[in-house]
Structure 1
Amino acid sequence: MSDPGSISDLDKNRALAEWLEWQLRQVRNRIRELEVQEQQDQRRRERARAEQAWKIQPRRSGDTAMLHRGGCTLYSSELGFINREEAVIALAEPDIEACQICRPETGLV
């Protein structure tokens, strides 16, 4: 005979399943939050790395080549960045000018 105030095994397992599904939703939401945070952290690291580097905009018809800071948005390079030493050498070249917006020569010479 079952106690009138007791909960059946079926009801207990249904309640447990609902609780576990709730926990799983919480964990999946947290995973999504952490993935977004990781992507933002990666973008910040890449931006910081770019700020410590330089890039050269190739010469185009009639224009001279131009040296930019790595984070300058006037020119987005598909090529890699150059280091400080290479930037100093580039500035010494007569056919490469410094960008007047990002001022890549600041701190180089």
Structure 2
Amino acid sequence: MPGGTSDLDKNRTPEQWLEWQLRQVRGRIRELEIKEQQEHRAQERAHAALRWKIQPQRSSLAALVHSGDCALHPVEGGFLTREEAMIDLAEPDIEPCQICNPETGLAYG
């Protein structure tokens, strides 16, 4: 169409605008998903920090009680409650981890 805007051009402009908006929304969704995942991991770490776990006895080494967020021993079989951890630490063949010092959390429970 001489001297004017064609129907094709009139439709390409909003198409480009909508594509830009869609990219913006998808980027924001990615940001929110990452934030949500980070918050979920933080909640899991906070929950684990309030629990305890036990490392079974191996060869001549004593069994160890760890705080729930201690990285030295992965959770095997779930977490212990405060009461269970205190009972375990009273046993002669079970010791606290010297790195995470799980007794600190037990003292304030």
When normalised by structure 2's length, the TM-score is: 0.89
Any stretches of 5+ residues in structure 2 without a counterpart?
none
The answer to which structure has the higher helix fraction is 2
The aligned length equals 107
The residue that corresponds to 1:59 in the other structure is 57
CA root-mean-square deviation: 1.6
Q: Please identify runs of 4+ aligned residues in structure 1 that moved more than 3 A.
A: none
- Tell me by how many angstroms 1:3 deviates: 8.2
Identity of aligned residues (%): 63
Amino acid at match of 1:17: E
CA offsets 1:11-67 (integer angstroms, 9 cap, x no match): 111011111111111111111111111111111000000110000001111111000
Change (3 A) 1:107 1:52: closer
Q: Distance in 2 between matches of 1:78 and 1:87?
A: 15
SS of aligned partner of 2:102: coil
TM-score, structure 1 normalization: 0.89
Q: What stretches of structure 1 of length at least 5 have no aligned partner?
A: none
Deviation at 1:78, TM superposition (A): 3.5
CA distance in 1, matches of 2:61, 2:73: 14
